[in-house]
Amino acid sequence: MPDRRLCGFRRAAVARLLSTACAALLGFTADSCLIEDDRCGPNQVKATNGLYACVCEPGYVTSALGYGCDACGENEESMGDKCVCKAGFNRSSDTAPCEAAQGSELGSACSESDPCVAPNDFCALSEDEPYCTTQGCKRNDDCPANWRCDTSGDEGFCNRPPSGFGDPCQSSADCAGKEASYCESLMTHVCIVNNCLPAPEDCPSQNVCCDVSAFVPGASLCVAISALSDGKCPGGSTPVTP
């Protein structure tokens, strides 16, 4: 009779391999694993798409180790596969802690009669609903996470994330009518930007355009830089940048 402990070890190993394969397919970093004995790991919840999988619960993101879930820091919340500052807080750099916002909050409403105050002292009056942001960017990665640099004017300014980006979804029907029109329904269950090859600058900061048509016919998706493997997209292709 085979050793039950050995069989259990083999089942766990196979589960881990299958989970890794699923994650590599699209390159998303939200932690996911096959459920054994109908249980998830610490800080995980069952996926809601009918698959026997676990995902990080709100406030947690995939560990840098590639498995398990780490808690977001103080004054942070999870958005897709990233920890971002909560409303009313911001950080001076990508690695700085989230601190109480001084002056105008990024994205807060403004007008000619209600100007913005540093550090977000530029009022984007050209937008349908003007908001406070920063000016002087030259590329998307000069802007906060998920924002994009609008260079259509004399001087670039950081524009809001694509509409719908990071919204929860179960299918692309939930993302219809938004700039982020594709639902990553395998693991992260959020709306992301599709068809980025013609205009890779459509990908928000800290994201790159990946041709994943080998896995998803006709798709080129904005993938988080943190989800790349040795600088390569899922399937080994080279990321496309502006």
Query: What is the DSSP code (8-state) at residue 159?
Result: E
Parallel, antiparallel, or unpaired: how do β-strands 122-123 and 33-34 relate?
A: unpaired
User: Nearest 5°: phi and psi at 155?
Assistant: -135, 135
Model pLDDT for residues 82-133, shown as the tens digit of each residue: 888 887 787 877 788 998 877 888 899 999 999 999 889 999 999 999 999 9
State both tokens at 229: 């493997």
Gap between the Cα atoms of 159 and 235, Å rounded:
31
Query: Picking from 28-42, 151-165, 182-196, which range would have the lowest pLDDT averaged per residue?
Result: 28-42
Residue 56: CB atoms within 10 Å = 26
Do 124 and 115 contact (CB within 8 A), yes or no?
A: no
> Residue 24, CB half-sphere, CA atoms under 13 Å: how many?
12
Using omega within 30 degrees of 0 as the cis cutoff, is the peptide bond preceding 115 cis?
no
Give the pLDDT confidence score for residue 93 in this predicted structure: 76
| Local confidence band at 21 (pLDDT 50, 70, 90 cut-offs) | very low
Gap between the Cα atoms of 44 and 47, Å rounded:
9
State both tokens at 6: 């050995």
Query: Picking from 21-30, 95-104, 178-187, which range would have the lowest pLDDT averaged per residue?
Result: 21-30
Do 103 and 121 contact (CB within 8 A), yes or no?
A: yes
Query: Picking from 5-14, 102-111, 116-125, 176-185, which range would have the lowest pLDDT averaged per residue?
Result: 5-14
Nearest Cα to 138, choosing from 122, 147, 150, 126? 150
Positive or negative, the Cα torsion across 60, 66, 68, 71?
negative
Give the pLDDT confidence score for residue 36 in this predicted structure: 43
| Strand stretches in the chain, DSSP E | 33-34, 44-46, 53-56, 60-62, 69-71, 76-79, 82-85, 89-90, 99-100, 122-123, 132-133, 148-150, 157-159, 182-184, 190-192, 207-211, 220-224
- What's the chain's length in residues? 242
> Nearest-5° angle of CA 234, CA 211, CA 57?
50
| Local confidence band at 154 (pLDDT 50, 70, 90 cut-offs) | confident
Query: Picking from 43-47, 91-95, 134-138, 176-180, which range would have the lowest pLDDT averaged per residue?
Result: 91-95
Give the pLDDT confidence score for residue 52 in this predicted structure: 64
